[in-house]
């Protein structure tokens, strides 16, 4: 199995920036897609950004041009650079990875981002 630990969340004013990090451990050789998922209070989880092992990237329309996802396979980490933050970006951000070994998704416990106006 894969274990994930997120970090980098915090309180920031609108227009500011944060950089989220996710460290993976365990069966890291089986990791395929790595992604960041946003959970706003009372809403469904939304895929914010995803990156495949081959480098293909997808973003939610709401964050295009503001967020950047990157991965460092040597360090088994994935990052989310968040710029021009808006109050609607507030919520918990979860790191998610898909295992090609067992076909399962693995989740971290999340890191809280709060954007004030």
By percentage, how much of the chain surpasses pLDDT 90? 90
pLDDT of amino acid 43: 86
For residue 96, name the pLDDT band (cuts at 50, 70, 90).
Answer: very high
> What confidence score (pLDDT) does residue 92 get?
98
pLDDT in the model for residue 41: 82
**Mean pLDDT across 50-76:** 95
Residue 4 in this model has a pLDDT that exceeds 90: yes
What average pLDDT does range 45-50 have in this prediction? 97
Length of the chain: 117
**Can you give the pLDDT at residue 50?**
98
Task: Tell me how far apart the 2 most distant CA atoms of the chain are, in Å.
Answer: 44
What pLDDT band is residue 42 in, cutting at 50, 70 and 90?
confident
| pLDDT given at position 22 | 98
Looking at per-residue pLDDT, the higher value among 55 and 96 belongs to: 96
Cα separation, 69 vs 12, whole angstroms:
19
User: How many Cα atoms are found within 13 Å in the side-chain-facing hemisphere of 63?
Assistant: 25
In this structure, are residues 103 and 79 in contact, taking their beta carbons and an 8 Å threshold? no
Strand partners, 96: 35, 107
Q: Calculate the CA 32 to chain-centre distance.
A: 14
- Buried/exposed code over 56-69 (b: 16+ C-beta within 10 A; e: otherwise): eeebeeebeeebeb
């Amino acid at each position: 199995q894969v274990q994930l630990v997120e970090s980098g969340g915090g309180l920031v004013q609108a227009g500011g920036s944060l950089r989220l990090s996710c460290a993976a451990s365990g069966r890291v050789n089986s990791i395929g897609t790595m992604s960041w998922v946003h959970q706003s209070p009372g809403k469904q989880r939304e895929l914010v950004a995803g990156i495949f092992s081959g480098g293909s990237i997808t973003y939610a329309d709401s964050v295009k041009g503001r967020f950047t996802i990157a991965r460092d396979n040597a360090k088994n980490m994935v990052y989310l650079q968040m710029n021009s933050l808006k109050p609607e970006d507030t919520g918990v951000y979860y790191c998610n990875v898909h295992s090609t070994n067992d076909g399962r998704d693995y989740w971290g416990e999340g890191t809280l981002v709060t954007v004030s106006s």
